[in-house]
Structure 1
Amino acid sequence: MCKIHVPEYRDLPINPDAPKGSAWGLFDKDGKRDVFGTLNFITPEAVVAAKEEIQTGESVVLPLHLPYVPCGGDIRIKTEHKIFKKNFGMYCLDDELRFNTQSSSQWDGLLHFAHQTRQEYYNGVKYEDVAVTRTDLTLGIQALSERGGIVARGILLDFVRYAERKGIEYSAVTNYAISLEQLKEIIEEEKVTIRQGDILIVRSGLSKWIRASTPENGDPWVGNKHIGVNPTAELLEWIWNNNFAAVAGDAVAFEACPAPDGSFMKLHEACLPGWGMPIGELLDLEALSELAVKNKRWSFFVTVCPLNVEGGVASLANTLAIF
């Protein structure tokens, strides 16, 4: 498979006016500013190769109604579903949904999180032009639909089963930080080979906790401490140098918050405004992990069909994994 050759992380940025470690300008072509970021790693050849992951025809779709309490519930509503009966005098139903795109399984688009110091998004798009004047919507979630959605090979790193094998005790509703060393050991144990354009998915155990919760005890956000990967400089370098197209997991932010060094959203700032890399969050990975164990294979064909909303910030997951 033909690879796209890009600089190593240590050689970024290529634009001297760009933030440290960013990929601004790297994927620009014919004088046109790029809006797809690391999705450029998913070439047509990579998609054709990914179809080889479809072997048993089994698939899983991620649900929308959980968790019972949305993260940031003071500003993010819980999904509401309303049914309209006997429409137009006939036995016919319509329904309406009201939701916040960050309240359940979802994908962060490139307008979700800006570089906090510079107040700029991927490739230098100004926060002011997006949030205030709305004069530059090129990085909106509609760009993913214009590209044909996300169609790629996914790999699942199952930290839950790894922890069980190793006797690691932890809580999925704390800021337990999954280390790069642990991720590498899982890859070795699962015998997964990383390819350019893969979607990296990490199962932390939060979706297992959410699945076991009830409306009465289903608030995983008490204390504002969230499980996820440890966003060290080494981890960021590893993600970029492996040319992942996107990262995702069942955690609320993919990265541990706060991180062991006390920081917040270091990985978000590297991925979204730095590289143009989408982040999947709160994905329900329980059925996916069962299929992986059944098939003894932790790679699969995956599609993401985002909401086609011009200038949209994020999207419901609409994610399908096929074995």
Structure 2
Amino acid sequence: MPMWRIFAAASLVIAAGSIAPASAQGFAPACQNLVKELCGRVSVGRCFQDESLWASVNPQCSGDIQTMIEMEREAGEQQTEDRNTRSRGNERPTRRQQAAEIQRGLSYGGILRAGPGMDYAKLGSLQPDDDINILEDTGIWFDEYKWFKVDSPIGVGYHWGGIFCTEGRAPEGVLSSCAEDISGGGPQPAPTAGPDESADAAEYVRTTFYTDEMLTEGLSPDNEGFFTNPAVDVIHANNGPGGSCIDVNPFVDAQDYDITEIKRTLKLNASRAANGQMLVEADFRNFGERKSIVWTLVGSSGFWQVSDIEGPETGSRLGAIRCP
């Protein structure tokens, strides 16, 4: 298995809380959960540089954690070797790519992904003002901005250019410069939502969708008015004459739910993205399994509609599903 694939699997185990990659790599779920509790958003290698954390690890998990750290190290070495090979061969980086490899920036928050697109797995969530180093301009555009490969506090992954700034002149496909713009108009502020608007969006998701009645109805025709494209087209197709094609409830990324546990553990965090959409991250437990769902809303306070829902697994974005 190529090392970058192993690294992606390990990152999912640590940062996204995915059960499947843990099983595939032979990691015990209890050890995976322990790493998540101890390290949070930080990669396991960086996390356990703090030697004091080993006192919190039971002997049964020591081997798994050492393996995770070794996998990350080997994946990093493989990435370095691949870059060196490209620089020595015919596929030499362009001047733009060379500049991007050393250019620093600041994230405005959002999701770090395993590849340059919305359908790639979520490696973790960056926070506003997290330092990043731009390693590569992928050349892949999405909604007027590009995807860039970056090094971040939670590891190497892909960050959308619409939600970060760079030191100096911003390259093509990045939202802005972190310092003064070219015209001297002053610092470029991070796109933010007012506290009342963020709270309203989070409360909208909580009170509208995480109720027993709504979870029971799921993607029924009666609920289509809460959605807009691309999600509404998928809901139309799912409710078409041929029968449903979606076998899980995207609100909880499962076929069944425990409303009591969901309400007890539900935590919501909302932030406005550079493209104007509101992202609401919902974290909760369902039958003991941790879930992380990202709701994409359009509109403003009192007039929200859901344009997409994304679960923790690759390909679990509602808008990307294609019903026959």
- TM-score range normalised by the length of the shorter chain: under 0.3
Higher helix share: 2
Higher relative contact order (CA closer than 8 Å, sequence separation 6+) = 1
Q: Look at both structures and tell me which one has the larger radius of gyration over its CA atoms.
A: 2
Q: TM-score, normalised by structure 2?
A: 0.23
Q: TM-score, normalised by structure 1?
A: 0.24
